[in-house]
Every structure is written in structure tokens, then in C-alpha cells.
């Protein structure tokens, strides 16, 4: 069965510090992995994706993610957090017949000034 | 600018009313989806469509119905709204390749 896990409901970090939002997945076949961000009362916005190639993927707003096949992980990272990064983050995988996405449960990121 | 549009953005409606949430995309995507999301919570797939005249129920049981008569249009209808339908409804689309979803801004529905 395909699944995505975000083990942390909430991540708290001080502004200027590095941040990591964790994601692990379980899929059959090659995974296509995505990160989305959601601000209050809005839809989800695409941040970045891993399809193939370099394991370190760079995306919007200074975010990056590292694909680790052996650990089946796709953690989202940013070297220096901003207060404006505070939002809900979703990891997703497109797998199987590629017609459906499987979303994690979301991680709320709080960046304190 | 978003290429997928949802209207209305906010809706407050009385119990028992019939409502239709609109979703349109201009990207020519064949696959479209409806998700239900309570504030700050996970997404639940309620309906999806792989093309014109194709609709399927999602993982979460829903009393709503959908139609797909045109590629660009995927409306969701509640025949008789109830307070338990209060939620945010997100529409998304994707093409047949390996790209990601594009999401609309959502409709926040309140049934009183």
C-alpha cells in the first residue's frame, strides 16, 4: 500500500535557525515526491518535487529537500527560517498508476521571532 | 496567477439548501480532484475524475456528487447541506505526466 508519514504534527524553530520537516514514504515502484505549503484559508502551493536525478532538490522560497532512498525519506529543509515560513506543510507522493497522490497528515511549522 | 479557479471563496448557507461549488482550470488537465479539509488538518479525497464523463468516489465517504461534462469544469454539488458539511473544499488538477497537483484557493463552506 502507498502511504506517506509526517511524524511531527508541529515543528517550532527560532527565526534564523535551520529547519527540518520530516517525511517518510512507502510506495511500490519509483516514487515521485512533492512538498506543498498551505497558508491559512488558502489552497496548497507547490514548493518542490523529486522525480529523478540529484538527491538534493531546490525549490521555492529557499526550501530544499533531500531524497534518501535507503531511508525512504524526503525531508524538507531550509538553512535559515523566516517568520513568514510559518504555515502548514504537506508531503505527497505520486506512485502506483500515477493517477493519485497520497498526502501526509501535514506538519505545522511555527517560526518564532 | 492560479490556473485553477474555485468559487465562491466563502459560503454560509442554511441547512437543507442545495449548493454547487465551482472548479475550473485552464491548463487542459485531464485529471481533477476534490479534497475536503478541516482547518489545519489533513486532506481527504472525496471525488476524482480522469476525464470527461469519468467520475469516481474517493477515500472518504461523502454525500456530495460531481460531474465532468467538460474537461475544464468539475463542479461539486451538495443536494441538502448539513452542519457536518462545514469544511474547506479544495479542487486540484494534474496532467498525465509526472507533475504535481495544481490547487485552487479553496471554498470555505459553513452550514448553519
Residues of B whose CB is below 8 A from A32: 98
Which of A10, A30, A37, A44 would you mutate first to test chain B, the one with the most B CBs within 10 A? A44
- Identity of the residue in A36, A92, A99 whose CB atom sits nearest the CB atom of B31: A99
Residue B10 has which C-alpha cell? 466563502
The verdict on A32 touching B (C-beta cutoff 8 Å) is: yes
pLDDT digits (tens, 9 = 90+) for A61-107: 999 999 999 999 999 999 999 999 999 999 999 876 667 788 999 99
Three-state SS at B66: strand
Evaluate whether A95 touches A27 at the Cβ level (below 8 Å).
yes
Evaluate whether A90 touches A104 at the Cβ level (below 8 Å).
yes
Query: From CA B4, how far away is CA B92, in angstroms rounded?
Result: 7
**What percent of chain B has a predicted confidence (pLDDT) above 70?**
96
The verdict on A91 touching B (C-beta cutoff 8 Å) is: no
Amino acid at each position: 500500500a502507498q502511504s506517506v508519514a509526517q511524524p511531527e504534527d508541529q515543528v517550532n524553530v527560532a527565526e534564523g535557525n535551520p529547519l527540518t520537516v520530516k517525511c517518510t514514504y512507502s510506495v511500490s515502484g519509483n516514487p515521485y515526491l512533492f512538498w506543498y505549503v498551505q497558508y491559512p484559508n488558502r489552497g496548497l502551493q507547490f514548493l518542490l518535487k523529486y522525480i529523478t536525478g540529484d538527491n538534493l532538490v531546490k525549490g521555492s522560497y529557499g526550501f530544499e529537500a533531500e531524497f534518501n532512498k535507503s531511508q525512504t525519506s524526503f525531508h524538507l529543509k531550509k538553512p535559515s527560517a523566516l517568520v513568514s515560513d510559518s504555515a502548514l506543510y504537506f508531503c505527497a507522493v505520486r506512485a502506483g498508476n500515477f493517477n493519485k497522490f497520497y498526502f501526509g497528515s501535514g506538519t505545522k511549522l511555527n517560526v518564532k521571532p | 496567477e492560479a490556473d485553477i479557479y474555485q468559487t465562491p471563496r466563502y459560503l454560509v448557507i442554511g441547512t437543507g439548501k442545495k449548493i454547487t461549488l465551482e472548479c475550473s482550470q485552464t491548463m487542459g488537465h485531464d485529471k481533477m480532484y476534490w479534497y475536503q479539509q478541516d482547518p489545519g488538518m489533513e486532506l481527504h479525497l472525496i471525488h476524482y475524475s480522469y476525464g470527461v464523463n469519468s467520475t469516481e468516489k474517493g477515500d472518504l465517504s461523502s454525500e456530495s456528487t460531481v460531474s465532468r461534462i467538460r474537461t475544464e469544469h468539475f463542479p461539486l454539488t451538495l443536494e441538502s447541506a448539513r452542519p457536518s458539511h462545514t469544511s474547506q473544499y479544495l479542487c486540484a488538477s494534474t496532467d498525465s505526466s509526472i507533475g504535481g497537483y495544481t490547487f485552487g484557493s479553496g471554498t470555505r463552506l459553513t452550514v448553519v
